[in-house]
Every structure is written in C-alpha cells, then in structure tokens.
Amino acid sequence: MACTTAAALGCRFATAFRAVLAQGRVRAGEWTAVHGCGGVGLSAVMIAAAAGARVVAVDVSPQALELARRCGASAVVDAAAHDDVAEAVREATRGGAHLSLDALGSPATARASVETLRRRGRHVQVGLLPPGAGRADLPMERVIGWELEIVGSHGMAAHAYGPMMELVRAGALRPDLLVGRVLALDDAPAALAAMSGAGITVIEPQRRRPPGDGAGRVDGARA
C-alpha cells in the first residue's frame, strides 16, 4: 500500500469503518444516510456501499457530493438547496434511512441525522460536538415514540484493523480514491488555508515542487 493511501486510514477510514459496521450495524439492502462528506463521511459512504447498503450522501459542496457518488452513493442531497434536509433524505430513501451517521458534528447535522431515520432506525454520532458549538437539540419525543437508537462512535484500535485491511487488499474498499491532493511540504501553508475542499489532502515531506511552480500548486491530484 502506498504511503499516501495509508495516510487516508487512521482517524478517517478506520473511524468510519467502526462507525458503520460495528456501531451502526449496517445491513445490505438498507438505506444509510451520511451527513457531511469530508474524509470520515466519504469513507463511511464507501464502506456502507461496499457492505451492500444503499447510501444517500448529504453535504453543501457539489464537489463533495460528486466524490460521494464515486465512492458508491446511490443518491445525494445538496443541503444548501433544501430548507428541510431531513425531509429531502426521507424522500430520497422512500420513508427514511435505516441507519444515519453525522460525520460532520454540528447541532444542525446531528438533529437532521436523527430526523432522517425511519421507525427503529439507528443514529451514529461520529462527528465531534464540542460544547463551544452549542448543544444538539434532538427530538427526544421521536426517539422514544419511534424507538430509535442513538450510539456514539469515536475510533478504532489498531489491533482491530485486520478485517478492514483484508477488504482493502481484496479491492472491495479503495481508500486511495479519497486522496484528493498530494502536496510538497512547501505547499502546506496554502493547503491549510484551503482545508474546506473536498477529499483528503496528503503532504509528502520528501516531495519537491517542480522548478517554476508557485506555492500552493497541487501535484499528483487525484480528486
């Protein structure tokens, strides 16, 4: 495995792997909604699709949604184009998702993820919700009345990587598709200023910028 591909693992791919399979108990044929298509979210889309789930990806970025389709999403919802994101997802999934993940971590996406679910659905909170961002106002009356599950998921220990790595070796999972940009160390400052872009950016310290290129040039882009 290339070092740039391995860089997509760890706190992104492995975190999503445990969230989708262990905590979310994804099932083939069911609908899985993923709110937020950054590194963790795109990983979750790919993993759920590889498990046989039908995936709807939610984000405000058209570029991120296009990447989600490449990762296996059956449907996408542009959150910026809908006043009621949860309703748009319920429509796309014909009644609501069986499993929904908040991969971003905001009060709005956490609530939307719960409201996305159909009866007895499962919500997995993956994105961090620091107190400074405000508390999520979850519809607990629906959680109770519809017997919804709310589960947290933080990460995956290195000793549990075996099954994930086997799927990567078999080609069932393609973390390399998540690497949008590979940069030289000199380009790191410009990349930090553009962290809102879709996909994962990898910095290779040994990479050198070709002569004549300006700072911030992207070499080996694979978005």
Proportion of the chain above pLDDT 70, given as a percent: 88
For residue 80, which amino acid is it? A
Beta bridge mates, 150: 123
Q: Domain locations in the chain?
A: 11-170
Task: For residue range 153-169, list pLDDT tens digits in order.
Answer: 999 999 999 999 999 99
> pTM for the whole thing?
0.84
C-beta of residue 14 within 8 angstroms of C-beta of residue 156: yes
C-beta of residue 38 within 8 angstroms of C-beta of residue 58: no
Which residue intervals of 13-133 are DSSP H helices? 13-17, 39-50, 62-70, 85-92, 107-116
Task: For residue range 170-196, list pLDDT tens digits in order.
Answer: 999 999 988 877 888 888 888 777 666
3-class secondary structure, 213: coil
Residue 49 tokens, joined = 């699709």
Give residue 198's pLDDT band: very low, low, confident or very high (50, 70, 90).
low
Distance, CA of 175 to CA of 95 (rounded, Å): 31
Distance, CA of 221 to CA of 179 (rounded, Å): 8
Distance, CA of 164 to CA of 70 (rounded, Å): 20
Parallel, antiparallel, or unpaired for β 54-59 and 31-35?
A: parallel
Q: Which CATH architecture has domain 11-170?
A: 3-Layer(aba) Sandwich (3.40)
Distance, CA of 199 to CA of 48 (rounded, Å): 18
3-class secondary structure, 120: strand
